Chains A and B, each alone.
Chain A
Amino acid sequence: MRTKFKLSALLVTGALALATGPAMAGDVATELSNTCAGCHGTNGYSAGETMPSIAGLPQGYLRRVLMEYREGTRQSTIMGRIMRGYDDAQVHAIADWFAAKPWKAAASHASEAQVHKGKSLIATCGACHVDDGRTGNDAMPPLAGQVEDYLAVVLHASQDPDRTPPQPEGMRLMIQSLSHDDIAAIAAFYASQH
């Protein structure tokens, strides 16, 4: 725990700053989390394409996935390389900082037709992704309002039976047979929900 002592000391400084000055200055969690914005958008609200919004994801989910990236047990193109730069205390500080923000739907440009088609394909998903994906929990993130192309990329990757960590068996079986167009429509549906 190389930086643990320093980290908590600085968190105290941050708390003092809250009382005497602006909320942000002096806060180590902000310092760490600001570095993510170049890819995930200011404060973790993505402006789109394939980068996911991460602000407002459930705390337990964030802590878990960030650790899994670091440990190499969650497949990624780049997050593993990034997360190996942080120790446990830093990962928790970052996860908690993003978790404390409200979830906001990313801008969606999905067409009516796509959204309609997507809705017809997700009936069974609601067993777990309740309320059309609006509610997340520590086991699974909200899908409603997530960036469309990111959802499509994740669904394609999840069709690979070797994906780590494995998706719940129930979900994997459901998405196995989805076509490219089905995935696009499902992504459009969830992305358009607020």
Chain B
Amino acid sequence: MDDIKVNQNPKLGSMDRPNSYIGRSLPRENAKKHLEGGGQFVDDLVLPRMLHVAFLRSPFAHAEIKSINVEEAKTSLGVFDVYTSKEIDEYCTPWVGTLGHLGEMRSPEQTPLAEKIVRWQGEPIAVVIANNRAQAEDALELIEVDWEEKDAQVDMETALDDNAVIIHPELGSNLFWTRTVNQGDVNQAFETSHAVVETTLDFARHTGVTLESRGIVADWNKAEGKITIYHNGQAPHMMQHIIAKHLEINEGLVRIVSRDVGGSFGIKVHVYPDEMAVAAISKKLGRPIKFIADRLESFTTDIHARCHKISGKLGIDKEGKILAMEINDLSGIGPFSMYPRTSAIETNQVLNLSGAPYVIPNYKAVGTVVFQNKTPMCQYRAVGHPIAVAITEALIDKAANKIDIGLSEIRKKNFIPDNAYPNKTPSGVPLEDLSHQASMDKLLTMMNIQEIEKEKIANLDKNVLSGYGVISMCEVTNPSPLFYGVGGAHISSQDGASIRLEGSGAIHLSSSITEQGQGTEAIMKQIAADQLGVSMDSVRVTLGDTDATPYGGGTWASRGAGIGGEAVLKAARTLKDNILDIAAAIMQTDKNSLDVENNTVIRKNGGEGITLQQLAETVYYRGHELPKGTNPELLATASFLIEGIPFVFTNSAMGCKVSIHQDTGIIKIDKFWAVEDCGTQINPKLVEEQIRGGVIQGIGGALFEECVYDDQGNMQNATMADYLVPMAYEMPDIIVDHVTTNSGRSIIGAKGAGEAGTGGAPAVIMNAINNALNQLGKEVVSQPITPEKILRALGKI
């Protein structure tokens, strides 16, 4: 057990007792399984009588289907049938991606297959059902469609113009949603400011690029009236409700199974038309149907994210104290708001989170979300954070430069002090248990900025522009019912855990949290074993099966450890209590003189104990030996949810140093530093993996990733060769450290840690680049920051 970290949470007991696993970097067992190729993903599943599908997708961003002829395709080798919206709509009711708690949202009904009008390139219009995918694809080529191409509204910036193409005529305009936040009086504050700085930033669309693409096998069993859906999603109980509602099946007879899932990043928590079609087809045919998105389909139909243009203004006094901040954000979400979470949340987070680490007495934020003829956009890892953090931190750097004070100095002047919580974001969202001051201090000791400043000057001679940035940010984690449930979505903010002692002495744990590769199973095991006093290898975990796990929300918004983990802790404590009651009865002693260590009930004062196996055998097989009235319950279930506040926030400070080659525009991230305060770290190594992985995804957004469209709305780079994600060579050293402020909302005290890296990296990288370019009086304002953009900024081309 190397890598022992001090667990700074007194509520969890000391670390030098047997089976103290919370706070240790233990290896996760399921990593070995994957390394051996022993995982079970949706595509591994082969069911008897299973058929495969391929979708005919719109080649146009906006067009009318004049007619469609599937007759020849039906005769193609291996084809079972070909359906259009007519057949599918009989088995699946339409849905609408709006919620009630955030003001008026306007989005029309959506069906699995488009009937007359297609509104993005990739929208499905017909489906071939065949013996295998290749045969289904062969038949796609035989479907005849008479298209009438329409003008497409591709550019979000002109979507509200008078002469815009109106995508949904019944709505009268392309406006989906708008919100204004107004705290204090920004105009007056700008007037009295010593200096006001402004900027406008652009964020390209990008997407999640999960290792395993979306996949589903739907299996309708007519005799039982039950549908089983194997699905690589993040929220099985949400899907259970959705399938029941739209296929009109009793919700109790919908089973969603999500075994191994190869990455999700928020991509897999939404309802996709093709997946709904697959469920409908299974119900229509009474046969298992498989659909696995190929990479081309992933790029044109997985949700995209970002796609923002945001302008901001910051007013400061002489000392650099912030007096006011104003932002105006525009975002384009494709032709529909996604179901059921809506596509308003990213912009909402931008408005909520901008300026969050700082005291900003006057704050105004306007968000506008419009429709366009591109792939639908929705929540992806670090929803809204990159935009909120980038605009805030870009403005702060500009303010610092304006009055010539240090980059960390201006931040320290404006932080909400660590001892001033509970507090609120400038937008009015409650904050508690944060540590911007301590985190920044720690970051600065890691970075050695004086050295970097010296290097900056030395590098100028070598035709290299060096620069650095430091930022602070808040990360939304552990959401309460105020996130979705309050708006009418059937998305649980509660999670459950069930834990039992079996006859063999083994512990079985099930949880409503799911795993997509982040190590959920490992931390659940650690919490259970730690709290029960058993070895790690005696705990077995079941996740991702609505027939087998407690009810709950699943994995998204960095909630697994903080909410799901707390439920495990509570269930384990109850089970242990029951075990001690039974042991006290068997051992004829006072319960308080007993404890559990190494799978054995021990007498604290010495003397012989009994193993959990002996205890379980007694209860299960020889119950008659127990004193009368002993409660034989060796199963405990508990739930947890966050009450009273919308979110539990995590905070981070990040720094980075970059070098830019002046001739080529190539940007190298020399080093990256992150200090994270996520409260108790159940497994520090897994926390650091989350932060590093998040940072890498943030590097992708900042420097590489972009869904490139032409003027007609055709995606130009829908392959892994053309859509650039950072790879090993592009990954810098990422040094991670921590400050620990436990959340007061739970016993464990864990906050989430899954999204800060992705949320903060784009801001700090952009600031570092602009810190470098600023030596020549230049800047870049558009992500991804490509070599060509650098050269254009430098006036080289």
A and B interact? no
Query: Measuring CB to CB, which residues of chain B are less than 8 angstroms from any residue of chain A?
Result: none
